[in-house]
Amino acid sequence: MRQLSIKDYDFRLVFLVLLLTVLGIIAVGSAKESVQNKQIMGAAMGFILMIIISVIDYNFVLKFYWGYYILNMVFLVLVTTSIFGSDSHGAQRWINLFGITFQPSEPAKIFLILFFAQFLHRNAKKFKSFLFYVFCFVLILIPVYEIHEQPDLSTSIVVMVVFAVMMFVSGFDLRFLLGTVAVIVPTAIIILYLILQPDSSILEDYQKNRILAFLNPTAAEYVNDDAYQQNNSVMAIGSGQLLGKGYSQGEVNSVQGGGFISEPQTDFIFAVIGEEWGFIGASAIIILLFAIALECAFVAKRASNLAGKLLACGVSAMIGFQGFMNLAVCTQLMPVTGLTLPFVSYGLTSLISCYAGIGFVLNVRLQGKQIRAN
């Protein structure tokens, strides 16, 4: 551990994260009061973890990068077992170890960011090798496949986007990256076309229905089923108008009081915020998310080495893209995904993982300052 100076700490990032967390706790309390205390506990645990991580040199932490990859794979494989895996709503995404239940796909994002930050840093001289490029894709596709099979398509997409951002920032030969995009885009279009065919088996039935419901939200077969929550979410956000209906007002014709969205404290927490806090409150949440992701990107720009740069960029991409996907679902800009809104939605595994990511970003900023000073 280096001699650290408190003046080099990124208090602006800490303030943004804490403010968004507090707003999330308030929103969760309105959506489902019985879990508010758990959210507060998760925020406290996450904050302590963030502080601890922020003062331990990330260069030392990254030395064990293969250990993070292996540990991540162990957790993801245990999810699929009948002994440790836990099923809920048709998906087996949770694991129970020693009485502690958590969702391994959440810390998987952090483990993979740590792994690839160091792996790419140590192999920077191989960035012009096509075989090494393929090897990187093999390394990311293995955990992505395990996450997808839970099934958790949305988290798989987030992990792949974060990986793509880290590959781009690392300085890989653009010919490889552009070639990959040239293959992925038409392939994705073809797969989407096949998915929409009546006899398609590419996706699970519920995943295909979510896409069809998104494309036909007013169709009779979807309006009271797969499109129900999104339709109500959009109406709730719109009904909040400029200033909102007021916090926890409990009217039966509201999302919070009428139960028109199941489990609004998780994926659709933004609908509660839009309805109760209005356009101003909803905009505040969006601005804070954008500011946090942007601050992480600024830290990456000032990092002392490639590993720190990739670490901060990975966390920035994770928070920014996951936040965008959640907001897009709540405003019916994309199909339902099941992703939480970072620092806002109820979910201890997600909240603590996000705090851990911010801890590493704070560490990159702090260590970078110290190295340049020395």
Angle at 253 between CA 247 and CA 258, to 5 degrees: 80
Sign of torsion over alpha carbons 30, 31, 36, 40: negative
Strand pairing report for 100-102 and 85-88 = unpaired
CA-to-CA distance for 9 and 14, rounded, in angstroms?
A: 9
CA-to-CA distance for 259 and 31, rounded, in angstroms?
A: 9
> CA Rg, the chain, in Å?
21
CA-to-CA distance for 319 and 16, rounded, in angstroms?
A: 13
Q: How many CA atoms lie within 13 A of 309 on its CB side?
A: 16
Please say whether the beta carbons of 312 and 299 come within 8 A: yes
**What phi-psi label fits residue 90: left (phi over 0), alpha (psi between -120 and 50 degrees) or beta?**
left
Residue 83: CB partners within 8 Å, gap ≥ 6?
none
Per-residue pLDDT of the chain (374 residues; tens, 9 = 90+): 456 667 778 899 999 999 999 999 999 998 888 899 999 999 999 999 999 999 999 999 999 999 999 999 998 888 877 556 666 555 667 777 766 777 888 999 999 999 999 999 999 998 888 899 999 999 999 999 999 887 788 899 999 999 999 999 998 877 877 888 787 778 878 877 776 666 666 666 667 777 777 777 777 667 767 777 888 888 888 888 888 887 665 555 566 666 677 778 888 899 999 998 999 999 999 999 999 999 999 999 989 899 999 999 999 999 999 999 999 999 988 888 878 999 999 989 999 999 999 999 999 998 875 544 44
pTM here is 0.89
- Burial category of 272 from C-beta neighbours within 10 Å (exposed 0-12, middle 13-18, buried 19 and up): buried
CA-to-CA distance for 270 and 277, rounded, in angstroms?
A: 10
Nearest to 198 by CA among 206, 190, 183, 208: 208
| Cβ density class 186-220: b for 16+ within 10 Å, e for less | eeeeeeeeeeeeeeeeebeeebbbbbbbbeebeee
Please say whether the beta carbons of 367 and 57 come within 8 A: yes
Please say whether the beta carbons of 31 and 340 come within 8 A: no
CA-to-CA distance for 297 and 346, rounded, in angstroms?
A: 26
Query: Token pair for residue 257?
Result: 């009081």
Angle at 128 between CA 127 and CA 130, to 5 degrees: 95
Domain ranges of the chain: 6-373
Distances (CA, A) of 57 to 230, 353, 370: 44, 19, 10
Concatenating the DSSP letter of every residue in 214-232 gives HH-TTSHHHHTTTTHHHHH
Please say whether the beta carbons of 244 and 284 come within 8 A: no
CA-to-CA distance for 290 and 319, rounded, in angstroms?
A: 9
> pLDDT tens across 105-130, in order?
899 999 999 999 999 999 999 888 88
Concatenating the DSSP letter of every residue in 85-140 gives EEEETTEEEEEEETTEEE-THHHHHHHHHHHHHHHHHHTGGGTT-HHHHHHHHHHH
Residue 348: CB partners within 8 Å, gap ≥ 6?
38, 39, 41, 42, 45, 102
